């Protein structure tokens, strides 16, 4: 009997890239606060969150590169793919502001950062928890490590949801506006892409749509404590970042992140 038939099911590299791109893009986005945080302690906390996410992305890219083979490395995957090749949720690439216009640094709003970390963190504690039981051993190991980090990220974000949601009139209004702005983008979680469907069919990945009721419960509990109203979801376009169809914001984020590596390929320091 060949070894291949004995092997436990594993996921394709594309599925690892979806998870990796989520972590890298949000890590890079949140890192924009480094040195600009509302207070010193929170600046450090958010930088920690970013570093955790970038660390998760590295492990996933390294594993994806092994499966892709050839010249692929974590760096080629992070720095030498263009926006249409990225497989992250659109939610994670959006700027830290409620409006779709506005470019000044002063337009960015921490409420958007916190609400996004809360919505994504609520998903990832469920996803990593399920994936740590994956038949794909490398993925299961990454999930077990990432779960601890995701739990802290969710705790951090939930804490601020309640403090600011149930805070002053202004903080409440800003958190509600951020929630109204971001919630529609969470619909992308629940419709599987081809890559996700294939990975699920192999038995090595998680069916994210099946986590929806648990996600709803996690989110609703914190929103109630935060005195925030869950917005009704609009009927219409559901974003498709995980299929490579992105908002205009991702290319700017990638340009900032990738320009150095592209200007000096192979540079080390």
Per CB under 8 A, residues contacting another protein are 39-42, 44-45, 48, 155-156, 159, 163, 168
Backbone angles phi, psi at 68, to 5 degrees: -75, -40
Residue whose tokens read 């920690």: 48
Q: Minimum CB separation from another protein for residue 149, in Å?
A: 12
- Find the shortest distance in angstroms from Cβ 168 to another protein: 7
Which residue number, 82 or 225, has a Cβ lying nearer to another protein?
225
**Minimum separation from the CB atom of position 44 to another protein (A):** 5
First-to-last C-alpha distance (Å) of the chain: 48
* Closer to another protein by Cβ: residue 159 or 194: 159
Burial class (CB in 10 A: 0-12, 13-18, 19+), 81: middle
Q: How far is the CB of 48 from another protein (least distance, A)?
A: 5
Do residues 219 and 226 make contact, with C-beta atoms less than 8 angstroms apart?
Answer: no
Residue with Cβ nearer another protein (157 or 218): 157
Nearer CB in complex with another protein: 49/108: 49
If the CB atoms of residues 29 and 156 are measured against another protein, the closer one turns out to be: 156
Structural tokens at position 117 = 């970390």
Q: Nearest approach, Cβ of 55 to another protein (angstroms)?
A: 13
Q: State in angstroms the smallest separation of the CB of 38 from another protein.
A: 11
For the bound state, the minimum distance from the C-beta of residue 58 to another protein, rounded and expressed in Å, comes to: 18
Closer by beta carbon to another protein, 14 or else 42: 42
Pair 57, 78: CB distance under 8 Å: yes
**50 vs 122, beta carbon nearer another protein:** 50
Which residues lie closer than 8 Å to 27 by C-beta, 6 or more apart?
A: 49, 50, 51, 52, 53, 54, 56, 57
> Do the Cβ atoms of 89 and 208 come closer than 8 Å?
no
């Amino acid at each position: 009997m060949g070894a291949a038939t004995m092997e436990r099911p594993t996921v394709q590299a594309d599925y690892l890239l979806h998870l990796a791109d989520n972590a890298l893009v949000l890590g890079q986005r949140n890192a924009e606060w480094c040195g600009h945080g509302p207070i010193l302690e929170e600046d450090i906390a958010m930088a920690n969150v970013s570093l955790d996410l970038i660390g998760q992305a590295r492990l996933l890219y390294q594993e994806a590169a092994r499966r892709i083979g050839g010249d692929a490395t974590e760096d080629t995957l992070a720095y030498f793919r263009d926006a249409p090749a990225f497989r992250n949720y659109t939610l994670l690439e959006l700027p830290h502001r409620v409006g779709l216009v506005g470019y000044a640094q002063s337009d960015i709003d921490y409420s958007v950062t916190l609400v996004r970390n809360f919505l994504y963190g609520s998903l990832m504690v469920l996803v990593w928890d399920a994936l740590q039981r994956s038949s794909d051993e490398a993925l299961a190991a990454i999930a077990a490590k990432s779960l601890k980090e995701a739990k802290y990220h969710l705790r951090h974000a939930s804490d601020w949801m309640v403090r600011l949601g149930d805070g002053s009139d202004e903080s409440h209004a800003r958190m509600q506006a951020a929630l109204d702005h971001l919630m529609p983008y969470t619909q992308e979680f629940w419709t599987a892409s081809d890559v996700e469907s294939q990975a699920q069919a192999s038995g090595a990945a998680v069916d994210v749509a099946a986590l929806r009721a648990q996600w709803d419960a996690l989110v609703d509990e914190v929103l109630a404590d935060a005195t925030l109203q869950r917005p009704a979801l609009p009927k219409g376009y559901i974003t498709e970042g995980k299929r490579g169809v992105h908002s205009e914001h991702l290319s700017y984020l990638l340009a900032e992140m990738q320009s150095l590596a592209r200007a000096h390929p192979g540079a080390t320091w």
